[in-house]
Chains A and B, each alone.
Chain A
Amino acid sequence: MLNQLTISELTARLARRECSAREAMQACLDRIRRVDSRIKAFLSYDAADALSQAEAVDKAVSSGADFTERPLLGVPVAIKDVLCVKAHPCNCGSKILGKFISPYDATVVERSKSAGAIVFGRLNMDEFAMGSSTENSAFFTTLNPWDTSRIPGGSSGGSAAAVAADQAIATLGSDTGGSIRQPAALCGVVGVKPTYGRVSRFGLVAFASSLDQIGPFTKDVRDAAIMMRVISGHDPRDSTSVPHPVPDYAAKLDGNIKGLRLGLPREYMIGGLDPEVKQAVDAAVRQLQKLGAELVEISLPHTDYAAATYYIIAPAEASANLARFDGVRYGLRVEGADPIELYSKTRDAGFGEEVKRRIILGTYVLSSGYYDAYYLRAQKVRTLIRQDFLKAFEKVDAIVTPTTPTAAFKVGEKSDDPLQMYLSDVFTVAANVAGICGISVPCGFTKSPKLPIGLQLLGKPFGEETILKLAHAYEQSTGWHKERPALG
């Protein structure tokens, strides 16, 4: 089945003319039709548009298009609902955007398209990327392909589930506190959160501007490396993107990790860690050691404060970022007697509980009289957390941790308890606060039910090459990534 292929497998077949892009796209669409009523990864998709893009690719291939220049030629890539695609809806999993259609492409979308990708579909997510389960989507909850009574993780739950269920060859998501790595772990796929500044945020509807990064979901590490090369690099439209050279990540995946130093942070073996997760991660660490990596115990003393810091900075930025959704220029509008009433009625009807909670929290921590005690202090702690990591990276090339404390939980299990929900990001959130890069790669399963477990590798700023190399060597020596959920 073409929809089950990886990027490298599919493009190889396309290049050899063993199949057409239209057939590959059709295979994904057929798969969506067959399984998405159970998974609910897609909010919407335009089959006719996707097929006509595929036909254009086939024309380009027959007139000799170059697959090395366009590494995603003919690859169906689906998009999280928080990234703008020209002439497609963009709702951010929220009611407030109404019938908004984006008039422009996000930079990552533009780059994917020029690399030949067939960009299609809108993937479900927690509203404005605020959540860890997709239960905060204003539309519906996406379900985990490994067990449809469970959540797929979040906020990019749709992006992870779609890859796990073979509905797309690869997808794009965004990660503000773990929103790529956590659902990748819970769905058994590969997910990368790039270094802050590595990938342009232009066209990503901002949740927390200083923490957000866009990254790929793929079926293996090589595909993640291919996607990373396409989407990375400086963008004149995003002044926080960094003009740091973009390596050919995939070309560096030689399986040789001998002598790479791996840090094991003392602080990450916390109480809430599930024994089966711990077992799988321990085994993965031994496997990496067997492959030639050296283990070094390290300390990240300010790690405990990462979540608290995150839950001040992220809502503060969000409270301003989401102010533009006011019913005046686009999206939902609920009329009022004056502008203030229009705003408050529109925002009351348009935003869900969690979004309102965070806007209020963010407004509070920025208010005069509280700014110094909360926002300013959080910024100072943020610096300490980053320094912890930078100091650790003087001794090690990467840091290894579990991606999540537990495997996928049941729908509704944590949705009434925001604090419990926040804890599912406990291992991922520090990377965003510190601005470093991270990847989640499958490292085993729980026994009963069989649920995926993810291994997180954290790298230094612009150290994507190293963590991709480690993840690839590990993956190739185990084969966990080849397992697929039984969806029929």
Chain B
Amino acid sequence: MDYEAVIGLETHVQLGTKSKMWCGCANEFGAPPNTHVCPVCLGLPGVLPVANEEALRLTALTGLLLNCAVSRSAKFDRKNYFYPDMPKNYQITQYAQPSTMNGHVDFEFNGSIARVRITRAHLEEDVGKNFHFERNSGVDFNRAGVPLMEIVSEPDITSADMAYEYLNSLKDILVHGGVSDCDMEKGMVRCDVNVSVRPKGSKELGAKIEIKNMNSFSGVRKALEYEIRRQIEVLKGGGRLAQSTRRWDDVAGITEEMRTKEHAHDYRYFPDPDLMPFVPTDDWLAGVRKRVVELPLARKQRFMRDYQLTKEQAEFFKTDVEAGDYFEKSAAIVLAKNPQDETRTRELRAVANTLIQQWRPRVLAKNARWTDVAVPGFSALVAVTVPFYQGRISSTGFQQVITEMFDSGRSDVETIIAEKGLAQVSDTGAIEKFCDEVIAANPGPVADFKNGKAAALNFLKGQVMKLSKGKANPALVGEILEEKLKT
């Protein structure tokens, strides 16, 4: 019998706010233990939480980016359980009325577009971090109270690879949307995985097994590969699976059972009486809507459609948004001056290549942003690309012009070409004259060529280039020489 996996993910993402969720402490990774703390995030007696509005905005923004409905009334609940990293011994989380729900994410997978539905994206608070020493343990509360968003997917994922691609595309969306830096090294993204297997074609779900607290996408993929195989083996061996929670051991490469359903927590959720329901106004929502950016996948598809770019070029502009914005301005010039034909496509792709191969390394070297004055303008990008792909300047000349532009801030491409004498001679009359001269002066090689020695042509070509002081268009020289030698 064949089995299939059913996977849903709960992805926790730290929001990129300046301060924590309920107090003014800095939301900042890497500070010495317990230096970004105050009575509120330490849960001292008598303190009260006050919701960080930017965190609520970023959650609503995430909802919009994930095609969710944004709630007109969101509430915070208390989730009760005891753990040393949790100062209040309850976590404040949007349980009954989350900020946003019912959306989806589209992403490229296996050569087509896959869709995973989003159940909800809700706001909660992060907890502290336990450290275990030789004789005792300590807690660092710098992370306690950092705004944390939980994105819950429907069980639409069918393989470890698909989970991996889903997570990457989710990360792309959140980074581009300015919701979170999603820096895995700093623990900004953590995943819980729910996975079960069932006979292919079956409608019933198998026993749900949760793997908790994974902090890398590749870890999620490895854990799922292992766990799916393990579950199928148990079933094939006639065994039964029970609802339970497991832990992924990255070193051993296995999952281990933590607790079964009988020992599941009763979190005793109830509305937090310290916080009023959050009822966004139309103006507030309009403000959030203004921050919605184009989704990475949509951007890639648009670049391929509107600018006829190659997949690889479009992928580049999907990832590097600033470069993409810059390209679009250059592309507008190309579109305005060319009718829709093959020339236009060639020119757009050539402009994209100049940007990716010539502009980008220089922008990076200057440690500049694309919008900086130190970067030559988008019209200069077109101005320098056109003569190159038309063959008016050589590859070396092309690079010389660009270097000059970046060094001196000039954008008068034609003047630079003239000053440096970089223009290639494409005037057929002039080239013909050079060719005639060379043929007349080199009867030996001419005879060799006519007797079938093809290499002799290269020698003659070299002589023409020499005569033209390197300015003749090499392609034209070849064409004309051959023509003349045939007769």
Contact = CB atoms under 8 A, between A and B. Distances in A.
Interface of A: 83-84, 90, 92, 97, 100, 102-104, 106, 201-206, 208-210, 236-240, 316-317, 319-320, 323-326, 328-330, 339-340, 343, 363, 366-368, 371, 375
B80 A205 contact: no
B139 interface: yes
A150 B235 CA distance: 72
B48 interface: yes
Interface residues of B, number: 29
A211 to B, nearest CB: 8
6 contacts: A90-B45, A201-B48, A238-B50, A239-B48, A319-B268, A323-B90
B237 interface: no
B43 interface: yes
B270 A103 contact: no
Contact of A106 (B46, B78, B82, B83): B46
Interface stretch (B272-280, B360-368, B417-425): B272-280
Interface string B64-98: 00000000000000101011100111100000000
Given A324-B43, A339-B84, A371 B270 contact: yes
Which 7 residue pairs across A and B have the least CB separation, nearest first? A323-B89, A210-B273, A366-B268, A209-B273, A205-B45, A203-B46, A84-B46
A83 B46 contact: yes
Interface of B: 39, 42-51, 78, 80, 82-84, 87-90, 139, 266, 268-270, 273-276
B276 A239 contact: yes
Interface of chain A, main secondary structure: loop
A485 to B, nearest CB: 32
Contacts, number: 97
A204 B83 contact: no
Contacts of A330: 44
Given A340-B82, A366-B80, A367-B266, A236 B50 contact: yes
B274 A363 contact: no
A329 B87 contact: yes
B24 to A, nearest CB: 10
Nearest to A236: B50
Contact of A326 (B46, B80, B82): B82
A363 B46 CA distance: 21
Given A209-B273, A239-B274, A329-B87, A84 B48 contact: no
Nearest to B139: A328
B82 A323 contact: yes
Contact of B268 (A102, A201, A238, A368): A368
Contacts of B50: 236-239
A104 B83 contact: no
A363 B48 contact: no
Nearest to A376: B270
B182 to A, nearest CB: 29
A368 B275 CA distance: 23
Contacts of B46: 83-84, 90, 102, 106, 202-206
A313 to B, nearest CB: 9
A102 B44 CA distance: 8
Given A106-B46, A324-B45, 8 more contacts: A102-B45, A203-B47, A204-B46, A240-B274, A317-B270, A320-B90, A324-B88, A371-B268
A103 B37 CA distance: 13
Contacts of A203: 46-47
Contacts of B49: 239
Given A90-B46, A320-B270, A339 B275 contact: no
B13 to A, nearest CB: 24
A363 B43 contact: no
Contacts of B51: 239
A205 B88 CA distance: 13
B428 to A, nearest CB: 80
Contact of B82 (A102, A339, A368): A339
Contacts of A106: 46
Nearest to B267: A368
B90 A103 contact: no
Contacts of A371: 268, 270
A238 B266 CA distance: 29
A346 to B, nearest CB: 11
B79 to A, nearest CB: 10
A209 B274 contact: yes
A456 to B, nearest CB: 25
Nearest to B40: A237
Contact of A84 (B45, B84, B89): B45
